[in-house]
Amino acid sequence: MRVVHVQDNGPLLESLYTDVLAPSFPPDELETAEWLRSGVADGTVLATAAVDSDGAAIGAAIGHWLPGARTLLLTYLAVPPGSRGGGIGGLLFSEVTGTWQKRLRPRATFAEIEHPLAHSASADYGDPSARLRFYARHGARALDIPYFQPSLRPGSGRVYGLLLAVFSLAPECAGARAGTVTPDLVRSFLEGGYYQETALGLDPASLALRRALDRPEGIPLLPLTEPERLPVSRPA
């Protein structure tokens, strides 16, 4: 097993989408194949593959780089059903926290994680509780905001019950209080290209997220080891 940084729209990138990403995420959480191809082409999407001895894709780490905000979203860290639990995810994550950081030097690196109190385990999409433990072991913490994923394309819905986790943070992005993140950083990430301001309306979930961002002293970072204390966004 080895890792490959995919930099062109060839067969390996197509395999990452069809064989790794598509079986691993519900449709509303999955970006399109065209998003992946165009992002790799223009440098706003990072794609790292884990491949077996035959060169077949057995895992993927996909990142979305927002140069205006200088923030990075680990959009997907995926190992397809049948290959999980063998260390592939850890190998890919070490590339995210190593090679990706050295290349881009982001102010912060985020990841969206399903809240185990809002999402059930399944054979196809994995176990949210196990995923939370994985990120906790690697030092991630969750922002104290009732986060939800915006609609990714026309016809898809929001995804509620997600956590926005942080696993790298530049010192200057710490909040005024210990253990917090400056709200300006989070706003720049949400409004800087990934999560347009227009996605936040006047519905209860949007208003709750706006209120959580309105903390000048900083947005607290919470440990992932106590899921019952982590915020949960829900539709009205």
Digit-by-digit pLDDT tens for the chain (236 residues) are: 899 999 999 999 999 999 999 999 999 999 999 999 999 999 999 999 999 988 899 999 999 999 989 999 999 999 988 777 789 999 999 999 999 999 999 999 999 999 999 999 998 898 999 999 999 999 999 999 999 998 888 888 899 999 999 999 999 999 999 999 999 999 999 887 666 655 677 889 989 999 999 999 999 999 999 999 999 999 87
Q: Do the bridges between strand 57-66 and strand 162-169 make them parallel or antiparallel, or are there none, so unpaired?
A: unpaired
Neighbours of 135 (CB within 10 A): 21
Q: Are 162 and 233 in contact (CB under 8 A)?
A: yes
Joined together, the tokens standing for residue 88 give: 């592939």
Cβ partners under 8 Å of residue 30, min gap 6: 21, 22, 152
Name residue, tokens 């990403």: 21
Q: Do the bridges between strand 180-181 and strand 162-169 make them parallel or antiparallel, or are there none, so unpaired?
A: unpaired
Among candidate residues 143, 171, 155, 136, the one with its CA nearest the CA of residue 73: 143
DSSP tag of 7? -
DSSP tag of 155? T
User: What 3-state DSSP class applies to 225?
Assistant: coil
Whether the model clears a pTM of 0.85, i.e. scores above it, the answer is yes
